[in-house]
Structure 1
């Protein structure tokens, strides 16, 4: 492993290494016997137990995407009075960004033990205006709350699928990406999900089933879209001295980066290039690594097109080459680019925001705890979070 950093990037971790010392999922799928708060509490206790810590040790709290329940409300429920708190709204990219923020806070001594938590009951509460298929896949109906932009609102764009359908269509137009290549992403995710006993959908998909599923927002069809489930989790970030007491092997945070460039489609300078290129550059620069040195990639797969563009952002191929890259099963179990190893948002779980679950899966892969889907001896894993079209956050994790 290279110990250098990119020009202009100085790692804050050289003097005080930072670790993820505990992780836990909440209940997943459909959760009728808990609230979001109780889900967070149970996951937090489990994650802290893995870290050899307790709620009284937490002095940093990072919460987002829970409606009106931010760090203040969650802190009250858990009995935590933090020295450092963050509820930045970066959508599904918030959680990789929270690792970045917690890493900096812990390295600077602003807190000792940071708890990052999230829970959603979007499926069981049906709080969102969704059309949910029998498989659990969903598509958003027009929602005026999300359509504040005067150039989008008159056209009643489906949210959030509409903008991503535009990305897929543009990628096809610019680079020749095909629906067969999009379908390969869904098939690969379903094959990983078959190996995960916690997956919502464990029956593998065939390319024909993906291509033949009903259109939602062209060119995206039902199986190009993520699940709509309940779920969430908690992770604990701390420094080496506190991580030594962990009940399970801590995983080191090697680098992190984040960026965003726009929100509305009308403000996008490009539909096929996002702020992910900068987030990835910052994360790998801090880690002193290149994408080719990573053993696996947990990428945010809200829609099949996302995986193709994320591989391009991560530097695994040039822009426009993501489609051809995955032909031949590169993403599938046993393939050359392990990704979505839990089954991802397409087949495992998608509780409104997937970013925290990407981190939990990466930590478990690096610990060797993933059973049938376990990768052979992984040492470096990458999580690449997404919020809307533009927001990206990237975390590089390593096993010591």
Structure 2
């Protein structure tokens, strides 16, 4: 019943801006917040005075956040919201913020929401431990052994390969295709084309994941503006409607993951499709969180684009290539364009650009729909959006 009450199509994303920064030594994340919020509002033809809702997640050290991080950033930027959201489910948080903003606007709690993200993930000058390193609770069974983000994802990769026969070269193809898209994007951090052999010969970081199976580490930021569909008509350019939304959480530590061969995108994706009245067959372009190549592989199946256990053949058969059945991460994604920490924001921005016809990378011909999927933590949380129409 809850999914039936999501106000599909009632709100639009009317402003979007991605920071061109990829390396920003000496630049505080709050300055990047200020820059991207100003850019998104200018894109929408609005000002700070029009904003009465604000959402962000900034709890990582490189985001300069701590308790009350949303309060600090709003104060720095000069936003005085009547509605605020600081839900933190990792890289999926910006998508969650969109769904929450749509519901808040529908409920009359606010009219125009700015959602922003910024991080100096590459240049942060202070020592910062990996997240999820608390030595109490479930962490006591993993932290003493030195588990890290990449070793956790490598564990899931190993299990999937064992259970379904996914080959390293099929996984490497995801990185190869990401670089093909990035090659067309002048804003991408890495644009030189790579081969499967390049991926497999790059240094092994955590077996079986090589360096080029892992996302880039950049500084950057982005912001979007969400308002009601009625008010969108009075903005500078309008933008796509939020047609579908779903979110789901699973586990904090890998020792609590029920099934390492899938993610809870099974649930968030199903809810997004239900609220939009669509199916995976209706989607031809998607922005899918790509912290690692395995993140993409598991998400494609969990979202219903590929039958269980068949993602390897789908990828090696050109399914995600620029001419394939499902074009993904058309700006080059986190594997090649940028990944400052919570890639979900940039996935949303690229979806908006695709639907507006202004992707800096491969621009498809008049796409009507775009799915966005975010993943947070150690495959711990997901959120899914379906955007389209005006």
TM-score by length of 1: 0.91
The one-character-per-residue Cα deviations of 1:210-256 (angstroms, maximum 9, x if unpaired) are 01111000000110001010001000010022211222241110011
SS, match of residue 45 in structure 1: helix
Gaps of 5+ in 2: none
Q: 1:1-400 counterparts in 2 under 5 A?
A: 9-13=3-7, 17-32=10-25, 34-65=27-58, 66=63, 67-68=65-66, 70-127=69-126, 145=133, 148=136, 149-157=139-147, 159-388=148-377, 389-400=379-390
Shift of 1:358: 0.2
SS, match of residue 150 in structure 1: helix
Shift of 1:70: 2.0
The one-character-per-residue Cα deviations of 1:328-374 (angstroms, maximum 9, x if unpaired) are 22212222210011101000000011000000000000000025510
Tell me if the contact between 1:62 and 1:87 (Cα under 8 Å) persists in the aligned partners. yes
Match of residue 132 from structure 1: none
Partners of 1:256 and 1:248 in 2: CA distance = 23
Partners of 2:353 and 2:38 in 1: CA distance = 17
The one-character-per-residue Cα deviations of 1:19-63 (angstroms, maximum 9, x if unpaired) are 000000124210136321111111111111222211111111101
Shift of 1:273: 2.2
Tell me if the contact between 1:192 and 1:373 (Cα under 8 Å) persists in the aligned partners. yes
Tell me if the contact between 2:181 and 2:361 (Cα under 8 Å) persists in the aligned partners. no
Tell me if the contact between 2:186 and 2:361 (Cα under 8 Å) persists in the aligned partners. no
Tell me if the contact between 1:60 and 1:85 (Cα under 8 Å) persists in the aligned partners. yes
Tell me if the contact between 1:142 and 1:156 (Cα under 8 Å) persists in the aligned partners. no
Partners of 1:394 and 1:381 in 2: CA distance = 11
Partners of 1:204 and 1:231 in 2: CA distance = 23
Tell me if the contact between 1:116 and 1:235 (Cα under 8 Å) persists in the aligned partners. yes
Tell me if the contact between 1:249 and 1:367 (Cα under 8 Å) persists in the aligned partners. no
Tell me if the contact between 1:301 and 1:346 (Cα under 8 Å) persists in the aligned partners. yes
Partners of 1:48 and 1:218 in 2: CA distance = 44
Partners of 2:160 and 2:57 in 1: CA distance = 31
Partners of 1:275 and 1:371 in 2: CA distance = 31
Two-structure CA RMSD over aligned residues (Å): 1.7
- Number of residue equivalences: 381
Partners of 1:369 and 1:143 in 2: CA distance = 35
Tell me if the contact between 2:133 and 2:143 (Cα under 8 Å) persists in the aligned partners. no
Q: 1:147 to 1:25 in 2, by over 3 A?
A: farther
Partners of 1:399 and 1:128 in 2: CA distance = 45
Gaps of 5+ in 1: 1-6, 130-140
Shift of 1:126: 4.5
SS, match of residue 256 in structure 1: strand
SS, match of residue 99 in structure 1: helix
Shift of 1:142: 7.0
Tell me if the contact between 2:249 and 2:382 (Cα under 8 Å) persists in the aligned partners. yes
Tell me if the contact between 1:51 and 1:245 (Cα under 8 Å) persists in the aligned partners. no
